């Protein structure tokens, strides 16, 4: 979280930029909603900065592209102006929900990719898990009022790629340990930092259940983490489902 003190028309109103991720347990609220509620601010005063941006690499000034989202474009543009440099590129968005959900749900799929890598599977499996994961993310998000295209941009696909593939990702590390044979409890005990996806998985599974959207990947990760399901059995169950076309449960007419 970071306070933005703008000298323009917005100077008199406190505004917040959230760089936090997650869904609140129970309420399933996004972080900008929690921040607005706790600080007693209107939702329009909370912007979100997200995207594929490992801090370790931003510090080294490696080229990075991100998104700033706020309900009103001028606030998003102010965040863009504040953070843009020649190595940190900021695109603007007004789809706050989509940008936040992308950064949240990806952690569950990063655990799934880690499990696959730990089991010794290859690039094909990982690409399939990531693509089908983004599919689940997008279908959930649209039903929560997010815009479909947001998930195919930097806050969705971009952040998913960085998290699923990076050696910096704690969620991937957790999954990999489980894929190699540790129980979830043993794997968690070996972690020195929090793997957010572990906490997000039950909320994500509950969310999909509440929206009645078929999300087999989220569900299998949840079952492995919390129900003691064998990861190989999970993968077998995923592969032997009926194979429909790629896009199900999208509201009719959303794409022409």
List residues near a copy of itself by CB under 8 A. Answer: 52-54, 57-58, 60, 62-65, 67, 80, 84, 86-87, 89-93, 116, 121-128, 130-132, 134-135, 138, 147-149, 151-154, 157-159, 161-162, 165-166, 168, 235-236, 239-240, 243-247, 253-256
**Is residue 106 annotated as a catalytic residue, yes or no?**
yes
Q: How far is the CB of 222 from a copy of itself (least distance, A)?
A: 20
Closest to a copy of itself by CB, 22 or 133: 133
| Tokens at 91, concatenated | 């695109």
Closest to a copy of itself by CB, 23 or 129: 129
Whether residue 17 contacts residue 47, with contact meaning beta carbons closer than 8 Å, is answered with yes
Q: What is the rounded CA–CA span in Å between residue 131 and residue 160? A: 10
Q: How far is the CB of 70 from a copy of itself (least distance, A)?
A: 12
* Of 21, 106, 199, 210, catalytic: 106
Instruction: Give Rg (Cα) of the chain.
Output: 18
Closest to a copy of itself by CB, 35 or 154: 154
Q: What is the rounded CA–CA span in Å between residue 29 and residue 42? A: 15
Q: How far is the CB of 80 from a copy of itself (least distance, A)?
A: 7
Closest to a copy of itself by CB, 80 or 203: 80
Q: What is the rounded CA–CA span in Å between residue 63 and residue 70? A: 23
> Burial of 170 by CB count in 10 Å (0-12 exposed, 13-18 middle, 19+ buried)?
buried
Q: What is the rounded CA–CA span in Å between residue 34 and residue 43? A: 9
Active site residues: 106
């Amino acid at each position: 979280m970071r306070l933005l003190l703008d000298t323009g028309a917005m100077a008199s109103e406190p505004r917040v930029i959230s760089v936090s991720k997650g869904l609140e347990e129970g309420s399933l609220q996004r972080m900008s909603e929690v921040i607005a509620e706790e600080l007693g601010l209107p939702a329009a005063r909370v912007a979100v900065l997200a995207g594929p941006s490992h801090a370790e690499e931003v510090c080294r000034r490696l080229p990075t592209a991100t998104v700033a989202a706020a309900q009103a474009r001028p606030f998003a543009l102010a965040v863009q102006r504040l953070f843009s440099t020649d190595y940190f590129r900021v695109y603007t968005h007004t789809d706050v929900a989509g940008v936040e959900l992308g950064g949240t749900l990806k952690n569950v799929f990063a655990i799934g990719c880690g499990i696959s890598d730990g089991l010794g599977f290859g690039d094909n499996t990982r690409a399939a898990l990531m693509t089908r994961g983004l599919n689940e993310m997008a279908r959930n998000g649209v039903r929560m009022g997010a815009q479909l295209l947001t998930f195919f941009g930097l806050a969705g696909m971009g952040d998913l790629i960085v998290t699923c593939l990076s050696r910096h990702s704690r969620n991937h590390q957790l999954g990999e340990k489980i894929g190699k044979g540790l129980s979830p409890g043993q794997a968690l005990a070996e972690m020195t930092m929090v793997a957010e996806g572990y906490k997000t998985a039950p909320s994500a599974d509950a969310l999909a259940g509440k929206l009645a959207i078929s999300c087999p990947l989220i569900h299998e990760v949840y079952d492995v983490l919390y129900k003691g399901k064998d990861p190989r059995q999970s993968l077998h169950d995923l592969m032997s489902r009926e194979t429909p076309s790629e896009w199900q449960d999208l509201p009719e007419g959303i794409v022409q």
